[in-house]
Amino acid sequence: MNGADSTQQCKSSLLNAIAGEERSIVCDMSGTTRDAVDTKVTLPSGQKLTLIDTAGIRKRSRVAESPDGAEQISVDRAMRAVRRADVAVLVIDAVEGITQQDFRLSELFAAEGKAVVVVVNKWDRVDPRLWTVEKMADNVRTQLRHVAWASVVCTSAIYGRHVEDVLEAVLDAGEQHRRRVPTATLNMVLREATQWKAPPTQRGSLRKGRIYYATQAGARPPSFVFFVNDEKLFPDDYRRYMERQLRDNIGFPGSPLRLFWRGKPKREPRARPATSTTPGAGGSASRGGGRRGGGNRVGGRGGGWGGN
């Protein structure tokens, strides 16, 4: 679980609520958690999880002001913890709102290809006349555009409210992150998407993009390869359209997608076979050679070189 400086208390409270006992120190003072701490949890279903409580990640300027440099080490360890996790939980303070550091963390999670759950904590302190869960979720996805596909859960960890929803969102995001789709299903969605909105035609040219088929190349995150006539014929807006179609028709809530576009390999021009001619030796590789006695004619009609 990762959070900015102001959410250190929120993050540790949430972990303790999920674990059902006090595993992390809850304190208003920033920097309480310096190392990434692994917590083993066994769910009632028997499923085992490893929760990683990381150090709160503050702004770079404030990290640089750390007198002993220990905080920079903590941040580095937190970043390494993110890379070994399957699902990243970004904890946001509902009162403070989304910060610039939250935005940067979401960008990091997306770049690393992690499934993401955004937890808006301290929901009990939000004015219900101004905010609903749906309105807050839309606000989060708008501001954190790199993870607009993330699951959003509003909680009050200190009171244990909706903590089970966080766990459910994490498990679902992890499942979607590992998900594989049959090729037949994928191409059925592909056909319907292209019928609804055909690939564009290149400006100033009659060339039009064609998608032959698609297949899933990997998981964690789900990655798809689209085989096309020329990848340059598919602009970014059409590629985003195709990703939306995959999400609308197949799902993947909480998980990023990777789409790769592969064009047909260009054929290399055939090399012409080399021909050799020998002056004065009756006959040659070309047509018509040797028609007159010992003369050699090259290339059909016209004069030859050599003599009778």
Write out pLDDT tens, residues 10-52: 677 787 878 776 655 454 445 445 567 888 888 888 999 998 8
DSSP SS3 for 190: helix
Asked if 170 and 62 sit in the same domain, the reply is yes
If 0-12 CB within 10 Å is exposed, 13-18 middle and 19+ buried, where does residue 86 land? Answer: middle
Asked if 207 and 166 sit in the same domain, the reply is no
Angle in degrees, CA 139, 144, 145, rounded to 5: 105
CATH of the domain at 200: 3.30.300.20
If 0-12 CB within 10 Å is exposed, 13-18 middle and 19+ buried, where does residue 19 land? Answer: middle
Asked if 51 and 149 sit in the same domain, the reply is yes
- CA–centroid distance for 50 within its chain: 23
Asked if 85 and 232 sit in the same domain, the reply is no
Residue 143, domain member (yes or no): yes
Q: What total of structural domains would you count in the chain?
A: 2
Residue 16, domain member (yes or no): yes
Q: What residues make up the domain containing 16?
A: 2-177
Q: Give the C-alpha separation, 10 to 27, whole Å.
A: 9
With contact defined as beta carbons under 8 Å apart, do 147 and 106 qualify?
yes
Asked if 132 and 40 sit in the same domain, the reply is yes
Q: Give the C-alpha separation, 83 to 81, whole Å.
A: 5
Instruction: Say what the pTM is.
Output: 0.77
Residue 103, domain member (yes or no): yes
Asked if 165 and 85 sit in the same domain, the reply is yes
Strands, E assignment, the chain: 2-3, 37-42, 48-53, 87-93, 115-121, 151-154, 211-218, 223-228, 258-263
Asked if 135 and 223 sit in the same domain, the reply is no
Asked if 130 and 15 sit in the same domain, the reply is yes
- CA–centroid distance for 282 within its chain: 70
- CA–centroid distance for 89 within its chain: 16
Give the pLDDT band of residue 97 (cuts 50, 70, 90). Answer: very high
CATH of the domain at 10: 3.40.50.300
C-alpha radius of gyration, the chain, whole number: 32
The span from the first CA to the last CA of the chain, in angstroms, equals: 94
Tens digit of each residue's pLDDT (9 = 90 or more) over 179-238? 999 999 999 999 999 999 999 888 777 889 999 999 999 999 999 999 999 999 999 999
Q: Give the C-alpha separation, 89 to 147, whole Å.
A: 12
Asked if 153 and 210 sit in the same domain, the reply is no
Bridge-based pairing state of the strands 87-93 and 48-53? unpaired
